[in-house]
Chains A and B, each alone.
Chain A
Amino acid sequence: MNSPMIYALLGITLFSVGLYGLIVREHLLRKILALNIMGSGIFLMLVALGKRSAGELPDPVPHAMVITGIVVAVSATALALTLMLKLVEASGSAVLHDAPKDRS
């Protein structure tokens, strides 16, 4: 196994760890961190697999996609954080409570 593949596997593991945190942890700030880690995992996989090319340079297209993705991620994070603060102001809790009726 070569090093790009190790990093690609790290990428999917990060995605899964983030997903786990997103499901298990309740605090919204933690969920936002989890989404960021998932994103990093995807970016890592996208770029690492781009290093499989036969030439000396890695594939630049995933690089551009990831830069796009990083900016999207920071935008979403900023929005999520503001929303969280407003929600805490309004409801007094940084945890989303499920009404029992909504459980499915």
Chain B
Amino acid sequence: MEALDFALGLFDILLVFLVLSLAWLVMSSEDLFRAIVLFVAFGLLMALVWVRLEAPDIALAEAAIGAGLTGALMMAALDRLSSVKPIQKVAASAQRKQLSLSSKVLPLIALVLIVLGLGYALLSLPEIADGLTPNVKENMAQSGVKNPVTAVLLNFRGYDTLLEMVVLLLALLSVWSLGGERKLSPRSTNPILGSLCRVLVPVLILVSCYLLWVGADAPGGAFQAGSVLGAAGVLLLLSGWHVEQKYLLWPLRFILILGSGVFIIMAAVLLLIQGGLLTYPVAQAGWMILLLESAATLSIGATLAALFLGGVPKSRVDQ
């Protein structure tokens, strides 16, 4: 057992070192493409860190969103950036000259001071603290689910999640307001991409359903399921998925607001019946949470894919 502890300790130190150097490289490498690739690697290693910290729910979310979707968003942005204007090089070199030694060293000193100060603060925290673990444990039986993280997300602090669905929608509204209309990309001529889609998209949808279902008593849930669904959407967008314009108006908008809408309606109904915002009746909590999560999954998936598109989707006219 001691050998195992030692090996894990060594692994921890190696992981910390790797994550830190990746973060530093993301900030310091000259090439933006390289920085983004390193950031994706950083995200994947962070997922490993979450596993080490016994946070499988976050590991799933981080791998799917933090590394996968954020990376895809960045890559797409970089691609569009280079197609807009080749000006970044000029601007960067012009700026580089201005950067004197002091303007780089001073922030570095500040960085070290912040780390030392915060480190001191952390080390003076009590060694053992239970946080809200006992409170969660005590009320798990009334929560309607068996996974404590899902219980916190959808029940104990469900109101946060409601507002967070609004944040996601707001980001999309702002992106649509900014981005204008964006045509869906033309059908890819690449046979491999097409067949990959045909196999992977159904599998991803299946995985998403599984994550949603299993979230009630094991790691998983709406956010993880939604981001897997979003990944499927991104894949479809990349391969030139054709959607008719009529589906992109009302039906799409409906799916996008479904998550927050069902949440708000549920909150209002429960307020009327139970006298409290999002106060579930104990016996019905299970299926109510599943209903909320299903709606949220659909919305999260659609929103993430729409964010990837970066504008109001418009059907291309084939032929």
Direct contact of A and B (CB under 8 A): yes
Please report A residues at the B interface, Cβ cutoff 8 Å. Answer: 3-10, 12-21, 23-27, 29-30, 32-34, 36-37, 40, 43-45, 47-55, 57-68, 70-79, 81-86, 88-89, 92-95
B80-100 residues with Cβ-Cβ distance < 8 A to A are 80-81, 84-85, 87-88, 91-92, 95, 99
14 A-B interface contacts by CB (under 8 A) = A4-B53, A7-B12, A9-B119, A12-B122, A24-B27, A59-B136, A61-B131, A63-B55, A70-B61, A74-B304, A78-B175, A88-B85, A89-B84, A92-B87
Give the distance to chain B from A50, nearest Cβ to Cβ, in Å: 6
When distances are taken between beta carbons in the complex, the residues of chain A under 8 Å from B23 are 14, 17-18, 37
Q: Does B243 contact A (CB under 8 A)?
A: no
Please report B residues at the A interface, Cβ cutoff 8 Å. Answer: 8-9, 12-13, 16, 19-20, 23-24, 26-28, 32, 35-36, 39, 42-43, 46, 49-50, 52-55, 57-58, 61-62, 65-66, 69-70, 73-74, 76-78, 80-81, 84-85, 87-88, 91-92, 95, 99, 103-104, 107-108, 110-111, 114-115, 118-119, 122-123, 125-133, 136-137, 148-149, 151-153, 156-157, 160-161, 164, 167-168, 170-172, 174-175, 178-179, 221, 223, 300, 304, 307-308, 310-311
Q: Is the interface of A mostly helix, strand, loop or mixed?
A: helix
Question: Do A86 and B178 have beta carbons less than 8 Å apart?
Answer: yes
Q: Is the interface of B mostly helix, strand, loop or mixed?
A: helix
When distances are taken between beta carbons in the complex, the residues of chain B under 8 Å from A95 are 88, 91-92, 95
Question: Do A75 and B171 have beta carbons less than 8 Å apart?
Answer: yes
When distances are taken between beta carbons in the complex, the residues of chain B under 8 Å from A88 are 81, 84-85, 87
Question: Do A50 and B131 have beta carbons less than 8 Å apart?
Answer: yes
Question: Do B27 and A21 have beta carbons less than 8 Å apart?
Answer: yes
Q: Known contacts A16-B111, A61-B136: does B310 contact A34 (CB below 8 Å)? A: no
Give the distance to chain A from B298, nearest Cβ to Cβ, in Å: 15
